[in-house]
A = this chain, B = another copy of it.
Amino acid sequence: MSLSPSVDRPRLVRLHATDNVGVVVNDRGVAAGTALGDGLVALEAIPPSHKVALEPITEGAAVRRYGEVIGWARRDLPAGSWVKEADLDLPTPPTLDSLPKSTAVPAPGEPLEGYTFEGYRNADGSVGTRNLLGITTTVQCVTGVLEHAVKRIRTELLPRYPHVDDVVALTHSFGCGVAFDSKDVQIPIRTVRNLARNPNLGGQALVVGLGCEMLRPEQIVDREGAGADLGDSGLYRLQESQTGFAGMIEQILAMAQRRLEILDRRRRETCPASALVLGMQCGGSDAFSGITANPALGFASDLLVRAGATVMFSEVTEVRDAAHLLTARSETEAVAQALIDEMEWYDRYLERGQSDRSANTSPGNKAGGLSNIVEKALGATVKSGTSAIRAVIGPGERAQGNGLQFCATPAGDFVCGTLQLAAGMNLHVFTTGRGTPYGLAMAPVIKVSTRTDLARRWPDLIDIDAGRIATGERTVLELGWELFHYYLDVASGRKKPWAEVHRLHNDLVLFNPAPLT
Interface residues in chain A, defined as those with a beta carbon under 8 Å from any beta carbon in chain B: 140-145, 147-148, 171, 173, 176-184, 210-214, 216, 238-239, 241-246, 248, 283-284, 317, 349-350, 352-360, 362-365, 367-368, 410-415, 434-439, 457-461, 498-499, 502-507, 509, 511, 513-517
Contacts and interface: CB of A to CB of B under 8 A. Distances in A.
A392 B180 CA distance: 28
Given A410-B177, A434-B212, A504 B350 contact: no
Contact of A141 (B145, B283, B511): B283
Contact of A355 (B141, B317, B459, B515): B515
Contact of A179 (B173, B244, B359): B359
B413 A182 contact: no
B517 A183 contact: no
A173 B437 contact: no
B143 A243 contact: no
Contacts of A355: 179, 181-182, 514-515, 517
A360 B517 contact: yes
A504 B244 contact: no
* Interface class of chain A by DSSP: loop
Give the most central of A239, A243, A317, A438: most B CB within 10 Å: A239
B515 A244 contact: no
Nearest to A216: B363
A227 B415 CA distance: 31
A457 B243 contact: yes
A147 B458 CA distance: 19
Nearest to A183: B354
Contacts of A459: 244
Given A181-B355, A183-B354, A212 B368 contact: yes
A362 B498 contact: no
B148 A502 contact: yes
Leading 7 A-B pairs by shortest Cβ distance: A212-B364, A177-B412, A179-B355, A353-B515, A144-B504, A410-B516, A244-B458
B437 A180 contact: no
Contact of A245 (B214, B246, B284, B498): B498
A406 B117 CA distance: 59
A364 B143 contact: no
B359 A457 contact: no
Contact of A140 (B238, B242, B349, B509): B509
Given A173-B173, A177-B411, A238-B436, 8 more contacts: A144-B505, A173-B507, A176-B362, A178-B412, A184-B354, A245-B458, A352-B515, A353-B513
B214 A437 contact: no
B349 A414 contact: no
A251 B184 CA distance: 42
A354 B173 contact: no
Nearest to A147: B505
B145 A517 contact: no
19 contacts: A141-B283, A141-B284, A143-B506, A144-B439, A144-B506, A145-B437, A177-B410, A210-B284, A210-B364, A212-B284, A212-B362, A212-B363, A238-B436, A239-B434, A243-B457, A244-B458, A244-B461, A317-B517, A355-B517
